Structure 1
């Protein structure tokens, strides 16, 4: 009965869980790379279905891996964004994620405004693959404008560029009206983010505008010597600020959920991370 109620509720929202299985609560997977559009989406669905995983929302981006959104090619970036917007128009569980390059200056700001006007809620930028410095003033200008038009900025935070955590922390401080999702929660440098427990105690310092997805990092941490510390960090960050992501195709949703299931979390915490926080953040309810 509970599963049937979930199915009916998601159907009413236009988010039919294609891979639904009895006893398996649907998830919002906020971090999915669909490099080949429909072909990638079909492969993702088949993989999730074969593993008996129920997906109610897919945060889908077109770039990453072999498809980089480099500076100096705003027309290609615009076309890529239009492609993911079109995919979302025909698949109601797709949450489109656009991109720009901060070094494209006025063209990047114009594209931010355009995709927001078309209903996009998430903007992904990646210091490593797009080869920009998160401390560059052009990045601050971009994320501030994104926040002004209602976009949530998803940024890579795998600690594979120098001072990644520190630069993102200071960016969030400088743009308090912009909501951020930092992907991978610092990866193996996750300990830094315990800073947030302190930052929240400093008056007028931190805008409490940072969320994290735990894609990839949860697979590394689960059933490992660092698992307890990882969970401690999750709670210091706030389990109401955490989102589930697979980082498909690098990791499958099944592998991510298997790792997530190993963490010693409460049922309430699991529900928040699995889909509750994403639904609240994105207004999916």
Structure 2
């Protein structure tokens, strides 16, 4: 039986324990307009009564706009110093050749943990050797690569899979987990059975797709896919400003996953992959 001091200590700890279970890491937040976008994101969180413990800030580089790319990257890094919840996800354009390589090295030296690449928006082919070279270097520098994977570009998932298999030392995060073509990623279940072929360097955020499939006829298949790719490899994202974090959290809650699985997706997996809050 608990004595009074022990009971009092337990009661004091309950709010902290509840907070730890409810912590949310939003890995997919676009901040197109820097601090203005960031403040609007926080305003939306407040208006929807949604908490966030940590979140990303993403921009995407434009080919040939080297000064702008560097300035936007520096802006994100500076914002992360002022807003401790923010993890900057910087960007380069792989077709900027040596300039992209140099910028990636600079970003890694500044402690940036991830970059964002978007084949459709940035207008490049995943199979371009320059993309492979950039991603290989990212792995060597300890920088994860967040790729759009909503299958807007034909062959998107297949090409991303092949890239990740070729570069086992690079950690990839495939945003949206394939969109409505998420079924493809069940192939990872089989890939793991092939000796020395696949090294679990593929991770996913389920931004947008979870909102789309929750309460739909596809929901059971989506949950099946999440488990086949591995619960430890799946993270939550809002895809702000297109969707809100509240929508993402509510969609996750609707999925037929256990409380522990949801906790991993909501917080544990991203926190483990991206590590310390500080640059």
Q: TM-score range with shorter-chain normalisation?
A: over 0.9
**Partner residue of 1:20?**
none
**What is the TM-score with the length of structure 1 in the denominator?**
0.90
Q: Tell me the distance in 1 between the aligned counterparts of 2:51 and 2:22.
A: 6
Q: Gaps spanning 5+ residues in structure 2: where?
A: 1-12
Superposition pairs of residues 86-101 of structure 1, within 5 angstroms: 86-101=78-93
Q: Return the offset for 1:4.
A: 3.3
Q: Tell me the distance in 2 between the aligned counterparts of 1:118 and 1:138.
A: 23
1:106 matched to 2:98? The reply is: yes
What SS does structure 1 have at the residue aligned with 2:119? coil
- Cα deviation code 1:176-198 (max 9, x no counterpart): 10000000000000000000000
What SS does structure 2 have at the residue aligned with 1:171? helix
Q: Tell me the distance in 2 between the aligned counterparts of 1:36 and 1:72.
A: 20
**What is the TM-score with the length of structure 2 in the denominator?**
0.92
Q: Which has the larger radius of gyration?
A: 2
Q: Tell me the distance in 2 between the aligned counterparts of 1:5 and 1:178.
A: 34
**Partner residue of 1:178?**
170
What SS does structure 2 have at the residue aligned with 1:31? coil
- Aligned match of 1:3 in 5, 9, 15? 15
C-alpha RMSD of matched pairs (Å): 1.4
Q: Is the Cα–Cα contact under 8 Å of residues 59 and 116 in structure 2 kept in the other structure?
A: no
Q: Is the Cα–Cα contact under 8 Å of residues 173 and 205 in structure 2 kept in the other structure?
A: yes
1:124 matched to 2:108? The reply is: no
**Partner residue of 2:26?**
29
Across the two proteins, how many residue pairs are aligned to each other?
Answer: 265
Q: Gaps spanning 5+ residues in structure 1: where?
A: 10-23, 64-68
**Partner residue of 2:273?**
281
Q: Tell me the distance in 1 between the aligned counterparts of 2:110 and 2:276.
A: 17
**Partner residue of 1:61?**
58
What SS does structure 1 have at the residue aligned with 2:173? strand
What SS does structure 2 have at the residue aligned with 1:176? coil
**Partner residue of 1:71?**
63
Q: Return the offset for 1:70.
A: 2.1
Whose helix fraction is larger, Structure 1's or Structure 2's?
A: 2
Q: Is the Cα–Cα contact under 8 Å of residues 185 and 212 in structure 1 kept in the other structure?
A: yes
Q: Is the Cα–Cα contact under 8 Å of residues 36 and 62 in structure 1 kept in the other structure?
A: no
1:142 matched to 2:139? The reply is: no
1:155 matched to 2:147? The reply is: yes
**Partner residue of 2:200?**
208
Q: Return the offset for 1:6.
A: 6.3
Runs of 4+ in 1 over 4 A off after TM superposition: none
Q: Is the Cα–Cα contact under 8 Å of residues 29 and 58 in structure 2 kept in the other structure?
A: yes
What SS does structure 1 have at the residue aligned with 2:62? coil
